[in-house]
Amino acid sequence: MRLAEFIKVHSDTIVAQAAQYARTLAPLAHESESTLRDHIPKILQAIVLDLENRQSPGEAHAKSLGQGAAATGTADSAAQTHGRLRARSGLQMAQLVAEYRALRAGVLRLWSEKEPVAISVSEVIRFNEAIDQAVAESVEFFSAETDQLRNVFLGVLGHDLRGPLNAILLTAELISRKTKDSPLSEVGVLIRSGRRMSSLLDTLLQYNRSALGGGMSIHRGLADLGKECAAEIELLRAALPHARIDFSVEGDTEGLFDASAVREALGNLVNNAATYGDDGPISVTLTGTVDTVLLKVANTGKEIPSSEIPKLFQALQRGTAAHLSESRTSLGLGLFIVQQIATAHGGQIQCASSAAGTTFELVLPREVGSLAGR
Q: What is the mean pLDDT of residues 208-225?
A: 70
Helix (H) or strand (E) holding 205, with range, is helix 184-209
Sorted by sequence, the CB contacts under 8 Å of residue 178 that are 6+ apart come out as: 186
Q: Answer whether residue 210 shows pLDDT above 50.
A: no
Q: What is the mean pLDDT of residues 284-310?
A: 94
Residues 86 and 142: beta-carbon distance below 8 Å: yes
Contacts of 58-64 with C-beta under 8 Å, sequence gap 24+, read: 60/125, 60/126, 60/129, 63/129, 63/130, 63/132, 63/133, 64/128, 64/129, 64/132
Confidence (pLDDT) at 262 = 96
Confidence (pLDDT) at 185 = 64
The per-residue pLDDT for range 128-138, each reduced to its tens digit, is: 888 888 888 88
Helix (H, G, I), strand (E, B) or coil at 2: coil
- Cα 286 from Cα 296, distance rounded (Å): 6
The per-residue pLDDT for range 15-51, each reduced to its tens digit, is: 999 999 999 998 888 888 888 888 899 999 999 998 8
Confidence (pLDDT) at 372 = 44
| Strand duo 357-365 + 348-354: pairing | antiparallel
Q: Which residues does residue 284 pair with via DSSP β-bridges, in sequence order?
A: 247, 297
CA-closest candidate to residue 140, choices 32, 68, 191, 188: 68
| Domains of the chain (ranges, CATH numbers) | 3-146 (1.10.490), 221-365 (3.30.565.10)
The per-residue pLDDT for range 70-125, each reduced to its tens digit, is: 544 456 889 999 998 888 888 888 899 999 999 999 999 888 888 766 667 778 88
Sorted by sequence, the CB contacts under 8 Å of residue 220 that are 6+ apart come out as: 256, 257, 258, 368
pLDDT band at 332 (very low <50, low <70, confident <90, very high): low
Confidence (pLDDT) at 364 = 97
Q: Answer whether residue 256 shows pLDDT above 70.
A: yes
- Cα 287 from Cα 247, distance rounded (Å): 11
Q: Answer whether residue 225 shows pLDDT above 50.
A: yes
Query: How many Cβ atoms are within 10 Å of 121's Cβ, its own excluded?
Result: 7
Residues 139 and 96: beta-carbon distance below 8 Å: yes
Name the DSSP class of 223.
Answer: E
